[in-house]
């Protein structure tokens, strides 16, 4: 039976590779046809996304949906069929079976065929976009970006223009904002509802009180895709995971103070660090990588204190319990495992039916939650391993769950999904409720992102939900109303990871554009 499964998995992988190849070829031909219709000016030098230095690795491809091949694409950014995967899945396979195939929206600022991959960036930007964003080359949040036209389209446009009187100017009214901030053309948003800096901008929700603002503190350049960001418990440091190494930066000045890389690992190929997590006392940094190993680093000596082995596929998420003794890990091998720092042993293995993308301990350490490709969130008793809640249909996500985070009260949980939504759940077990109701209650659904939600978190006071998406945006949400307060566009590629500081009003973002950034958010009257 195992051999049959393996054969099926290999067939799925080969099928996906063939399909990706044909789709890439079709997209290339479409681009050729479109570019023959009109010329799109090339991007001025120095205005595009940062190009990794020579010798660095190209970011890996995107995530698929079958249980075996899905994780080959999670942590990478290149658009080829090989290599690890850093992005969420392309809109093919299971996702494509659920909906009719669609041409990527032209307003997303990427030529057709380039949209799905995390590491892909626009190669050409129209003059309008360059004018709007100056030398940064930053697209209008991919909103309303002009596209190359065919000759027939150009002819129709010319006819329409000749019928318009040159003496009449009709100013189109600005659209209402609301939660769909990612849909908006920045230039048409009224000035009082937007803020623009050198290479980032913010759009505020006109239907919500403007009580929150955002500013950039530091930009942390990397040589590859930044897969994850995480603050230390005291908020003084932020760690990032990238290809082959983890880095630690001083939050106050943005300087790198530590570089952690296992030199015993073979140097050929990519090895993305997909998750990083500080111990509560700040002495250790745990890293999870594509080689199925969990390394616990002594930060002061830059040596490996523990090497936890046991997972059979890539590791995607880690979390330290507040007691500092236990670490939870999730993997494509369909398991969540809990490890003991004192004994160096795995003390709990929780198996499910599909790959596990994300894991989190509750603040009191009583529960461990995990999101999966099977669209559900599970919550277990962290001591006994007993499944206490399963959060799923009819109110659950319609696609794979990519990120989960407990609220500071330990009684609520947020989840982000490939279905482009975030959900807020009231947990029954954490409230001491039991009975026939097996799952928690979905009390809010946050809609507004244009693409996969890759990371979710709550601020330490529980007042705001943060989300990062493949649409390149970060959104702040009010958990009481599910209203978006603002959308921040500060990266040229997917926002793979968001993390609030436990000790201050700062948050960090990691992206496929080879950057991590530290931001400050300010609440009015505070």
Distance CA 472, CA 491 (A): 6
Residue 342 burial (C-beta neighbours within 10 Å; 0-12, 13-18, 19+) = exposed
pLDDT (0 to 100) of residue 440: 85
Q: Which of 277, 282, 401 is nearest to 339 (CA)?
A: 277
Mean pLDDT of 85-101: 39
Q: What angle do CA 293, 246, 83 make, to 5 degrees?
A: 60
Least confident of 6-10, 202-206, 208-212, 314-318: 6-10
Phi-psi region of 324 (alpha: psi -120 to 50; beta: other; left: phi over 0): left
List the 228-231 sheet strands across, edge first. 228-231, 237-241, 246-250, 256-260
Closest CA to 130 of 44, 34, 40, 35: 44
Cα-trace Rg, the chain: 23
CB 312 within 8 A of CB 337: no
Which of 27-41, 169-183, 195-209, 227-241 reaches the highest mean pLDDT?
A: 227-241
Across the range 220-236, mean pLDDT stands at 98
So what's the pLDDT on residue 79? 35
Name the band, by pLDDT with cuts 50, 70 and 90, for residue 148. Answer: very low
Q: What is the pLDDT, as a whole number, of residue 247?
A: 98
Tell me 41's DSSP state.
P
Nearest residue to 389 (alpha-carbon basis) of 404, 373, 370 = 370
Between CA 196 and CA 457 the distance in angstroms is 25
pLDDT band, residue 187 (cuts 50/70/90): confident
Structure tokens at 367: 């529960």
Residue 21: both structure tokens together:
């190849």
Q: What percent of the chain has pLDDT over 70?
A: 66
* pLDDT given for residue 526 in this prediction: 61
Closest CA to 429 of 373, 364, 336: 364
Those residues whose C-beta lies under 8 Å from the C-beta of residue 526, and which sit 6 or more positions away, are none
pTM flag (> 0.85): no
Q: Any idea which residue has 């009224």 for tokens?
A: 190
Average pLDDT along the chain? 78
pLDDT exceeds cutoff 70 at 499:
yes
For residue 394, pLDDT over 60 is answered with yes
- Supply the pLDDT for residue 9: 57
Cα–Cα nearest to 277, from 313, 311, 312, 321? 321
User: Does the pLDDT at position 143 exceed 60?
Assistant: no
Q: What is the pLDDT of residues 368-379, one digit of tens each?
A: 999 999 999 999
| 75 or 424: which leads in pLDDT | 424
Percentage of the chain beyond pLDDT 90 is: 59
């Amino acid at each position: 039976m195992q051999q049959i499964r393996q054969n099926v998995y290999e067939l799925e992988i080969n099928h996906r590779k063939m399909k990706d190849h044909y789709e890439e070829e079709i997209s290339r031909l479409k681009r050729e046809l479109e570019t023959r219709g009109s010329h799109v000016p090339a991007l001025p030098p120095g205005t595009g996304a940062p190009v990794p230095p020579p010798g660095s690795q190209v970011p890996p491809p995107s995530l698929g949906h079958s249980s075996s091949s899905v994780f080959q694409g999670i942590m990478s950014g290149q658009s080829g069929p090989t290599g690890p995967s850093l992005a969420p899945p392309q809109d093919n396979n299971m996702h494509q079976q659920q909906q009719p195939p669609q041409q990527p929206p032209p307003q997303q600022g990427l030529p057709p065929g380039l949209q799905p991959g995390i590491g892909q960036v626009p190669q050409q930007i129209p003059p309008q976009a360059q004018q709007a964003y100056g030398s940064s080359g930053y697209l209008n949040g991919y909103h309303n970006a002009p596209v190359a036209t065919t000759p027939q389209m150009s002819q129709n446009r010319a006819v329409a223009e000749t019928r318009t009187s040159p003496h009449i100017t009709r100013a189109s009214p600005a659209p209402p904002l609301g939660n769909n901030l990612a849909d908006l053309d920045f230039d048409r948003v009224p000035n009082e509802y937007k803020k623009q800096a050198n290479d980032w901008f913010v759009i505020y929700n006109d239907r919500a009180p403007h009580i929150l603002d955002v500013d950039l503190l530091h930009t942390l350049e990397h040589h590859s895709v930044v897969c994850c960001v995480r603050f230390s418990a005291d908020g003084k440091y932020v760690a990032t995971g990238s290809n082959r190494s983890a880095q630690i930066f001083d939050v106050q000045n943005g300087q790198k103070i530590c570089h952690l890389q296992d030199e015993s690992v073979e140097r050929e190929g990519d090895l993305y660090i997909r998750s990083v997590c500080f111990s509560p006392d700040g002495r250790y940094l745990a890293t999870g990588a594509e080689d199925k190993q969990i390394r616990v680093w002594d930060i002061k000596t830059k040596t490996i204190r523990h090497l936890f082995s046991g997972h059979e596929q890539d590791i995607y998420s880690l979390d330290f319990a507040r007691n500092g003794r236990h670490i939870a890990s999730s993997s494509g091998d369909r398991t969540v495992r809990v490890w003991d720092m004192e004994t160096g042993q795995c003390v709990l293995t929780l198996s499910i039916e599909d790959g596990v993308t994300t894991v989190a301990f509750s603040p009191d350490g009583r529960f461990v939650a995990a999101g999966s490709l099977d669209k559900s969130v599970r919550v277990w008793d962290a001591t006994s391993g007993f499944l206490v809640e399963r959060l799923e249909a009819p109110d659950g996500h319609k696609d794979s769950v990519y990120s989960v985070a407990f609220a500071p009260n330990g009684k609520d949980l947020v989840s982000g999904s490939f279905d482009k939504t975030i959900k807020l759940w009231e947990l029954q077990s954490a409230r001491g409720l039991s009975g026939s109701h097996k799952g928690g209650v979905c009390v809010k659904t946050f809609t507004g992102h244009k693409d996969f939600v890759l990371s979710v978190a709550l601020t330490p006071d529980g007042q705001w939900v943060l989300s990062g998406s493949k649409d390149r945006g970060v959104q702040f949400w009010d958990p009481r109303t599910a209203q978006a307060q603002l959308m921040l566009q500060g990266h040229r590629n997917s926002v793979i990871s968001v993390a609030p500081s436990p000790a201050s009003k700062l948050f960090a973002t990691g992206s496929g554009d080879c950057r991590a950034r530290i931001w400050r958010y300010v609440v009015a009257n505070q």
